[in-house]
A and B are shown apart, each in its own frame.
Chain A
Amino acid sequence: MAGGITDTGDDGASPGVNGESLFDRDHRNRIFGALELMSRVIFAVIMRESRTRYGHSDLGYAWAIIDPLIEMAILLLIFTSFGRTSGIDASLPVFLVTGIMPYYFWKNCMSRAASAASANAALLTYPQVKVADIIIGRTILEAVTSTVVYFFFVIGLLMVMGEPLTSWFDDPLQMVLALLMTGYFGLSSAFFNAGLTRVLPAWGNIWSYLSRPLWFLSGVFYTLEALPHGARGFMVYIPMAHMIEWLRSASLPGFESSHYSPVYLFCVSTIVLFIGLVIDRVMTVIGQNTYDA
């Protein structure tokens, strides 16, 4: 791989005379070099964050798994005591996990990935570390953690309740697409939130109020189909609901929703990402390079 990159550089270098060709090669190598550097920094951030966020003890990181596990247990208890079922052709635990896990991922991107940027502002002293690297690294860590927790549930429910593995997998292509989009949405949200926190110090408080009802408005506990018409008309604007409906349609064999739009989710993600990046750029240029200003 590395050899290939060098060759490309040399090809670009051969036609010109010394000075220019060197620049050409420099220029090409710079793009690969920048990508290589960025992935190195992101990897370093992931390794560092996995240590600091969850602490040193094994239980520290286990909290990332225990936390949604407890939440699930409580919800399951409540729903079953009300005699509730999933309302679709899927068992209640499978239905809840496929709603809670993507929501958790998204919520953690919004809160933790964004705050990681301000918590690690001192790292920006190293010129190769950019705000974006910290946010991307943190989002990847959240994605990995969520995936681990998800498989924890899949295996756990198989062992405890005999939930067959086939209840989790429907259309592989759609699943891959929906998961990629979920990751993109999470990353965009992290950039958006980190940006807003930077320009609006009060945003943190506003967000903590907003995020509570969102938990109920994102379709974690029910499908959009099950809602009365008026409520559904409102909820189709909430991108998280699209994310969850899509993921469920892709992974649950007995469920197909017609109320989500991948295009809408993509557009919202792209817009919030754009806002986040613009804020980052503007703040860097006007001199508030760090977060303490």
Chain B
Amino acid sequence: MIELRNIEKSYPTKSGRRVILDDINGTFERGHSYGILGLNGAGKSTLLRIISGAEQPTLGDIRKDVSISWPLGFTGSFNGSLSGIENLRFVCRIYDADIDEVTDFVTEFAELGAAIDEPVRTYSTGMRSRLAFGLSMAINFQVYVIDESLAVGDYTFQDKCHREFEARREQADILLTSHAIETIKVYCDRAGVLHKGRFTMFDSVDEAAEFYERVNS
């Protein structure tokens, strides 16, 4: 379970403090996949980074007793001068994952072939994403956090990702942000809406969708 209590996030800007998230409360239970609906710039990514632990809230508490992934497909941590394998080793070390197992899984899953030993700077955007995606799937998290979409690589690869997620639905939940209701509907059974810094949680995606359309029309 992930529990957010009175989360506030504000950044100092030249024109004073800008509040991104204002008194966010919400509970994310195990066994349910949640969507977070919001327009671009509503603070979805910030909220996701706070939930995944990449960022600290300015105020408030976050309690969690589940392992949460980094935002899926995150390629920013890759060092261009290191090979795919070397970048992968770093992640294995910090998550205490078996390097050989993860290497085998990612090599197969990301379809990188011999390129896995090449420096990441020589990779195409698609290759990078596939590496990042394979890496997050290789480590068993209880909650997978996805920012905006699963749109990684071409259709065949996307299809593979979908199947991989379906296969682990029993053990793993999804936390997905999107501005599009349709995307949320595919993966989630519950959803909340982030609007003007405030967050409202609903028991069903339909209720959330209705609220989302009402406040944004």
* Distance (whole angstroms) from the CB of A12 to the closest CB of chain B: 20
> Which chain A residues numbered 88 to 130 have a C-beta less than 8 Å away from chain B?
122-129
B217 close to A (CB within 8 Å): no
> Which of B68-76, B159-167, B176-184, B192-200 is the interface stretch?
B68-76
**In contact, B56 and A285 (Cβ under 8 angstroms):** yes
* Distance (whole angstroms) from the CB of A200 to the closest CB of chain B: 15
Q: Mark B27-70, 1 if CB is under 8 A from A, else 0.
A: 00000000000000000000001001111101000000000101
- Give bound CA distance, A44 to B86, whole Å: 10
Q: Mark A207-237, 1 if CB is under 8 A from B, else 0.
A: 0000000000000000000000000000000
**In contact, B12 and A286 (Cβ under 8 angstroms):** yes
**In contact, A125 and B76 (Cβ under 8 angstroms):** yes
* Distance (whole angstroms) from the CB of A204 to the closest CB of chain B: 21
A52 close to B (CB within 8 Å): yes
A284 close to B (CB within 8 Å): yes
**In contact, B96 and A40 (Cβ under 8 angstroms):** yes
**In contact, B94 and A126 (Cβ under 8 angstroms):** yes
Q: Which of B58, B74, B82, B90 has the most CB of A within 10 A?
A: B90
| Chain A residue with Cβ nearest B76 | A122
The count of residues in chain A whose C-beta lies closer than 8 Å to any C-beta of chain B is 25
**In contact, A44 and B93 (Cβ under 8 angstroms):** yes
**In contact, A48 and B82 (Cβ under 8 angstroms):** yes
Contacts of B82 in A (CB 8 A): 48, 51-52
A160 close to B (CB within 8 Å): no
* Distance (whole angstroms) from the CB of A41 to the closest CB of chain B: 5
- Give bound CA distance, A51 to B120, whole Å: 13
A293 close to B (CB within 8 Å): yes
**In contact, B94 and A56 (Cβ under 8 angstroms):** no
> Which chain B residues numbered 115 to 146 have a C-beta less than 8 Å away from chain A?
119
A266 close to B (CB within 8 Å): no
A203 close to B (CB within 8 Å): no
Contacts of A264 in B (CB 8 A): none
**In contact, A52 and B81 (Cβ under 8 angstroms):** yes
**In contact, B91 and A126 (Cβ under 8 angstroms):** yes
- Cβ-defined partner of A125 (8 Å) among B11, B54, B89, B119: B54
**In contact, A48 and B58 (Cβ under 8 angstroms):** no
- Give bound CA distance, A102 to B41, whole Å: 49
Q: Which of A126, A285, A288, A293 has the most CB of B within 10 A?
A: A126
- Cβ-defined partner of A124 (8 Å) among B54, B68, B79, B86: B54
Contacts A/B (CB < 8 Å), 28 sampled = A40-B93, A40-B94, A40-B96, A41-B93, A41-B94, A47-B89, A48-B82, A51-B81, A51-B82, A51-B86, A52-B79, A52-B81, A55-B81, A122-B77, A125-B70, A126-B70, A126-B77, A126-B91, A126-B94, A127-B52, A127-B53, A127-B70, A128-B94, A128-B95, A285-B58, A287-B12, A287-B58, A289-B54
Q: Taking beta carbons and an 8 Å cutoff, which residues of B are in contact with A?
A: 9-12, 49, 52-56, 58, 68, 70-71, 74, 76-77, 79, 81-82, 86, 89-91, 93-96, 119
Q: Known contacts A51-B82, A124-B54, A125-B52; can you find 7 more A-B pairs with CB under 8 A? A: A48-B90, A122-B77, A125-B70, A126-B54, A126-B94, A127-B54, A287-B10
